[in-house]
Structure 1
Amino acid sequence: MLWQKCLCCDINVYYPVCSRLHEEVMDFYNFMSPRPEEAAMRKEVVKRIEMIIKELWPTADVQIFGSFSTGLYLPTSDIDLVVFGKWDRPPLQELEQALRKHNVAEPFSIKVLDKATVPIIKLTDQETEVKVDISFNVETGVKAACFIKDYVKKYPVLPYLIFVLKQFLLQRDLNEVFTGGISSYSLILMVISFLQLHPRIDARNPSENLGVLLIEFFELYGRHFNYLKTGIRIKNGGAYIAKEEMMKLMINGYRPSMLCIEDPLLPGNDVGRGSYGAMHVKQVFDYAYTILSHAVSPLARSYPNKDCESTLGRIIRLTQEVIDYREWIIKKWGGRDFFFHNCSSIITPRSLFSVNNLIRYLFLNR
């Protein structure tokens, strides 16, 4: 594994095994966190699209929400945009035609989803290959981004878990609602609920063992959470609520979904409603719990897995395509000092060792 290879000279610092997993989660976060060059590239994509929108509707207001707004985005994550203006109906086709005219998107990538719960335009930017979703007059996304930022401040461990979990779901094609997975918003709410109701530790403490938290997250949602009868509530400190109780608040007569998560910003809305593959998500969480709990058990230290020295590497992988894509971004949008912009706020000798070895691995061992 990439983040494991960079540490092979100093593997003993990971013991005991849960501490090793903790350090691997931190290293993965530091490596995958958005670099300044990636943010600059994405801002250019937004600027190009915003110029087209302003040309059509000069008074329109374009806002960013979702993971690009919160900073919790992977290198291949979408950009979510919402356009505010005075329309009776979302002008999807009009914007689609303008985007095609200006050759902003790859021609076959533009899709108008006018029958979706929230009608959107999906496209892939031609220059950068960044995917973009554009909606109209939907305020909840912007409010949700502010809500998430507040919880990132409240729970400093939240971003570390989110980056690992996003990558875990991405490589299993379970990171999109329309393919049966769960949305980033659902995932973040699940992690927040887990931290709110964690029985043993102060999850606000950034020094808590991230390896233990990751395993216990997988244990909760892979083994113990009752998807049939229980819903998740975030507001008022968090709680598990019987679905019968949740149903009384549902808008438009909806019944609670299998993965029922009350929207803290719109209590009658079930955030997990579209996730028809929730049981598949449960299964892969169970799988991850099995793999990681075995990897950190005393027995595993007696019978190590020689095929994978990295504990975290047993459940997630980075493709060469993603690594090459990030290097291309660096060459086009900046210099080679990007790693030092993305370390945690506290730079320790251990984390500095990680970063230096990771740089040597990327640029000297190709």
Structure 2
Amino acid sequence: MMDPNIGWFQPEHRGPALEMYRNAFNECKLNADNSLSNSNNNAANNNNSTTGGKDIANAGNQIQMQPDYIPLDENTFQNAFNFLNNHTNIHLNCNNQNQMQFGKRKRDNRASTYNLDANHHLINEYKGIPWRKKGFIYSPGVIGLHEEIQHFYEYMSPTQEEQQMRSFVVKRIEKVIKNIWPYAKVEIFGSFRTGLYLPTSDIDLMVMGKWDKLPLFTLEKALLEANIADTDTIKVLDKASVPIVKLIDKDTEIRVDISFNTNNGVKSAKLIKEFKKKYPNLPKLVLVLKQFLLQRDLNEVFTGGISSYSLILMTVSFLQLHPRQDAVLPSANLGVLLIEFFELYGCCFNYYKVGIRVKGEGSYVPKSDIERQMQDSGNRPSILCIEDPLNPSNDIGRSSYGVMNVKKAFEYAFLVLNQACGPTASAVDQSESILGRIIKVTDEVISYRRWIKEHFPLKDASLLSTTNAGSDNSLDLYDDENQPNSSASSVTSSENVSRPLKRYACK
């Protein structure tokens, strides 16, 4: 069956055969669950008998014994799930279990499409593809995919109301900080500074000042007194490698992370802006890829994914080392680039032996070389090894322990898109959304954007340019290269997906 974490059945899959298969699968699953439950009950009854433990041993033969370990490989999460499913004495109905997991994800992530096949109500309004323009005739294959990526970028790019709302949040928090420490400096970094944020993305703030001890709990108390957040939506992570205050703004439901005296985030944001100018297609690819990971809960390290910064540097490296020179031109086919990105990082890239370097013109580096330059720091290259362009001894991907989950999702996306745009495209209904085969925007996100437009109408344009006055983030958040390009016609024509990327990064 389809992995509910990654995908859903496509239109060409649906029909009597699929329904028959699903019914047979569910019936077999139910029978297996009932058999396991009966075996567990028998074991419990035998445990209460007076046979000197012989029946317990027999029951143990009926039930597979607990192994001494859970194998650790790229399918660790699935192995752990199977282990619990096969060996626990607590039986949960499969459907109830899916609903429990789904509920938890939805509380944390309104963009989640987990188990979409069983939850079509999430995308009732626009079938999950609100970027598709009425009356626009989309071309077949990669040309149509290119057009959809252009329209997705236009639709999902931040509106002025959304930016004003975020600026409003920053101003309120900045006021609280200034009331405590008048000489402290508040800086924006991350996606809000670079302009590469989705409607539900968080805001990253950094406070510069002089303290003997980081005043995390002092700030927490002040934010609560100012009614910025509720007690159950603010948390101090003082033991983290980078201590932060995490909160959810009470008025807007925007998540905010506040750190102290960490210049790297601001420098990284400046570097990303430079990459945006150098590679005009970077923002469009990144916005699609961020949505792809977000809806699968793979957009953060602690949920088994990768960070936005890692994703951006992977995209930069992909463009830097692309064998076709026209890949970096504004006229490049975004559909082809997206499929090639998924092919590279989902099928071809050797995560175990190769590291990524974006400094200069970019290169692939043997991990043995990176390990030597990390000796002084005592670190070793991680599975996803990305050399920090600002500090070569630092590995940006070092905490991405679930990167193989991301690789699996990328491979799935490549197969699904290649089926619709490659040699088998004739078997796919080209009138259906091609980008919608891997990306959906939930009704909850659409409603949230609508709510923002209603409650934060554009009144004071000065808010957009005065946040952090004097720093370089004042409205070059919306610099020229980040403005949506409505032109979908100037595109490299290619009906077949070219596949030159297997020549490198595979050894």
**TM-score normalised to structure 2 length:** 0.65
Q: What secondary structure, in the 3-state scheme, does the structure 1 residue paired with 2:364 have? A: strand
CA distance in 2, matches of 1:322, 1:223: 31
Deviation at 1:181, TM superposition (A): 1.0
Q: What secondary structure, in the 3-state scheme, does the structure 2 residue paired with 1:89 have? A: coil
**Which one-letter code corresponds to 1:319 in the other structure?**
T
Deviation at 1:3, TM superposition (A): 4.5
**Is 2:161–2:457's contact at 8 Å kept on the other side of the alignment?**
yes
**Which one-letter code corresponds to 2:154 in the other structure?**
N
The answer for the alignment partner of 1:42 in structure 2 is 166
Question: 1:204-233: CA deviations, max 9, x gaps?
Answer: 211100000000000000011100011000
Question: 1:219-265: CA deviations, max 9, x gaps?
Answer: 00001110001100011210111111001122521110000000001
Q: What secondary structure, in the 3-state scheme, does the structure 2 residue paired with 1:96 have? A: helix
**Is 1:4–1:24's contact at 8 Å kept on the other side of the alignment?**
no
CA distance in 2, matches of 1:263, 1:279: 21
Q: Which of residues 401, 417, 425 is equivalent to 1:300?
A: 425
Percent identity at matched positions?
58
Deviation at 1:344, TM superposition (A): 4.7
What is the total number of aligned residue pairs between the two structures? 342
| Residue 256 (str. 1) matches residue 411 (str. 2) | no
| Residue 315 (str. 1) matches residue 438 (str. 2) | yes
Deviation at 1:349, TM superposition (A): 9.0
**Is 1:3–1:31's contact at 8 Å kept on the other side of the alignment?**
no
CA distance in 2, matches of 1:342, 1:140: 23
**Which one-letter code corresponds to 2:136 in the other structure?**
D
Q: How does 1:286-365 map to 2 (within 5 A)?
A: 286-301=411-426, 303-305=427-429, 309-334=432-457, 344=483, 347-348=486-487
Q: What secondary structure, in the 3-state scheme, does the structure 1 residue paired with 2:245 have? A: strand
**Which one-letter code corresponds to 1:52 in the other structure?**
V
**Is 2:373–2:392's contact at 8 Å kept on the other side of the alignment?**
yes
**Which one-letter code corresponds to 1:118 in the other structure?**
V
CA distance in 1, matches of 2:437, 2:486: 27
CA distance in 2, matches of 1:117, 1:349: 44
**TM-score normalised to structure 1 length:** 0.89
The answer for the alignment partner of 2:203 in structure 1 is 79
**Is 1:196–1:237's contact at 8 Å kept on the other side of the alignment?**
yes
Q: What secondary structure, in the 3-state scheme, does the structure 1 residue paired with 2:380 have? A: coil
Deviation at 1:102, TM superposition (A): 1.3
CA distance in 2, matches of 1:179, 1:88: 33
**Which one-letter code corresponds to 1:292 in the other structure?**
L
The answer for the alignment partner of 1:283 in structure 2 is 408
Deviation at 1:285, TM superposition (A): 0.4
Deviation at 1:20, TM superposition (A): 0.2
Question: 1:317-345: CA deviations, max 9, x gaps?
Answer: 1010100010111112226xxxxx99956
Structure 1: give runs of 5+ residues left out of the alignment. 336-340, 352-366
The answer for the alignment partner of 2:307 in structure 1 is 183
Structure 2: give runs of 5+ residues left out of the alignment. 1-126, 459-479, 491-507
Question: 1:6-39: CA deviations, max 9, x gaps?
Answer: 435333x423x10000000010000000000000
The answer for the alignment partner of 1:355 in structure 2 is none
The answer for the alignment partner of 1:210 in structure 2 is 334
CA distance in 2, matches of 1:91, 1:8: 53
CA distance in 1, matches of 2:182, 2:151: 44
Question: 1:180-213: CA deviations, max 9, x gaps?
Answer: 2111100000000000000123232111000000
The answer for the alignment partner of 2:30 in structure 1 is none
Q: Which of residues 36, 42, 54 is equivalent to 2:178?
A: 54
Q: What secondary structure, in the 3-state scheme, does the structure 2 residue paired with 1:10 have? A: coil
Q: What secondary structure, in the 3-state scheme, does the structure 1 residue paired with 2:327 have? A: coil
Deviation at 1:114, TM superposition (A): 1.2
**Is 2:154–2:484's contact at 8 Å kept on the other side of the alignment?**
no
The answer for the alignment partner of 2:243 in structure 1 is 119
State the structure with more CA Rg. 2
CA distance in 1, matches of 2:445, 2:249: 17
CA RMSD of aligned residues (A): 2.0
